[in-house]
């Protein structure tokens, strides 16, 4: 099929490369003046992937929307503005696959809801979620991911079109749970980095156990299945987020505690604000997320806020 990717950062560029590798006709879009797009135009790649000559590069949004499949990989907080621009071009009959994880600050809205509000009446919206790092994929290391959408036919069409040797796709069955789980795992990743910086990486077992349980409670309160927290989009993504040297969120948490600068995007920094608001609105306790928020936004000591939380005595595990 003809496929476009909007967003030429690390993950968007990989998706464009992957789609071409499995046989699709690909267009990669970046905003006018994008440093990422300029690098790709100048060198033919970004240091992680190298593009075939027939991958089309453009800074014209209308050209990207000419494809039947439009994959979106931008920062979560810029999605609403982007979808507003797309809506003005009145696309029809397209499938928008959101290849990104996060929640909107202020509203706490899931990303698929934002996209559907903008283009949903005449187009399909799906999410592409799950574990995996570009560095491992391009080295030939496979992984499993999830496609979810409201429409069962959309899921089946995308799984069929996107499956390849590097990625085995599963059909999602809980859009709420998968999106909340995927977004919140980045907050757990930040917490893991904080533990690494404090020299108590042994507490990651407790972090994973308790973190999954509190996110499951939130998913249930929002109308999803608590079991989704134990699937690929949350617990199944912990290896890539909590332990991997490639995890931006883990590295950000580690750098934050050490007082070091970190210039890459760490979506969990924004997501924890949205999660905190959702938890308060729905009367759900998220102690780990609250601790991460307190460290990032209120200046609390990480060892006191997070280390103390995971080593305190408790009466019941569940």
R_g of the chain, CA atoms, integer Å: 19
Number of alpha carbons in the 13 Å side-chain half-sphere of residue 5? 27
Q: Give the separation between CA 155 and CA 173, rounded to whole angstroms.
A: 10
| Host H or E run for residue 20 | helix 10-21
Catalytic, 185? Answer yes
Q: Give the separation between CA 188 and CA 200, rounded to whole angstroms.
A: 15
Residues 6 or more apart from 110 whose CB is under 8 A from it?
103, 175, 176, 179, 180, 183
Q: Are 236 and 144 in contact (CB under 8 A)?
A: yes
Q: Are 254 and 292 in contact (CB under 8 A)?
A: no
Candidates 94, 155, 185, 204; catalytic one: 185
Residue with tokens 């590798």: 21
| Host H or E run for residue 128 | strand 124-129
Q: Give the separation between CA 188 and CA 203, rounded to whole angstroms.
A: 12
Q: Give the separation between CA 285 and CA 218, rounded to whole angstroms.
A: 8
Task: State the alpha helices, DSSP H only, in 168-263.
Answer: 175-198, 204-221, 238, 248-258
Tell me which residues are annotated as active site.
Answer: 185
């Amino acid at each position: 099929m003809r496929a476009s990717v909007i967003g030429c950062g690390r993950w968007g560029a990989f998706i464009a490369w992957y789609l071409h590798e499995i046989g699709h006709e690909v267009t990669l879009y970046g905003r006018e003046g994008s440093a990422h797009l300029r690098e790709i135009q100048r060198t033919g790649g970004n240091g992680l992937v190298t593009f075939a000559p027939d991958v089309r590069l453009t800074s014209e949004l209308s050209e990207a929307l000419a494809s039947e499949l439009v994959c979106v990989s931008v920062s979560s907080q810029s999605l609403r503005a982007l979808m507003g621009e797309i809506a003005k071009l009145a696309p029809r009959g397209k499938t928008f696959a959101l290849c990104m994880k996060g929640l909107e600050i202020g509203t706490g809205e899931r990303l698929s809801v934002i996209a559907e509000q903008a283009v949903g009446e005449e187009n399909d919206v799906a999410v592409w979620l799950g574990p995996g790092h570009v560095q491992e994929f391009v080295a030939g290391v496979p992984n499993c991911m999830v496609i979810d959408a409201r429409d069962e036919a959309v899921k089946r069409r995308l799984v069929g079109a996107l499956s390849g040797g590097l990625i085995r796709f599963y059909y999602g069955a809980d859009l709420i749970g998968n999106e909340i789980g995927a977004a919140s795992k980045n907050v757990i990743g930040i917490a893991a980095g904080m533990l690494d910086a404090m020299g108590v990486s042994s507490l990651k077992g407790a972090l994973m156990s308790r973190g999954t349980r509190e996110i499951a409670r939130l998913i249930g309160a929002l109308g999803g299945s608590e079991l989704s927290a134990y699937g690929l989009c949350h617990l199944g993504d912990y290896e890539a987020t909590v332990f991997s040297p490639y995890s931006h969120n883990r590295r950000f948490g580690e750098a934050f505690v050490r007082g070091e600068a970190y210039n890459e995007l760490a979506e969990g920094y924004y997501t924890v604000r949205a999660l905190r608001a959702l938890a308060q609105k729905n009367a759900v306790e998220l102690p780990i997320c609250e601790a991460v928020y307190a460290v990032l936004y209120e200046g609390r000591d990480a060892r006191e806020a997070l280390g103390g939380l995971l080593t305190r005595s408790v009466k019941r595990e569940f």
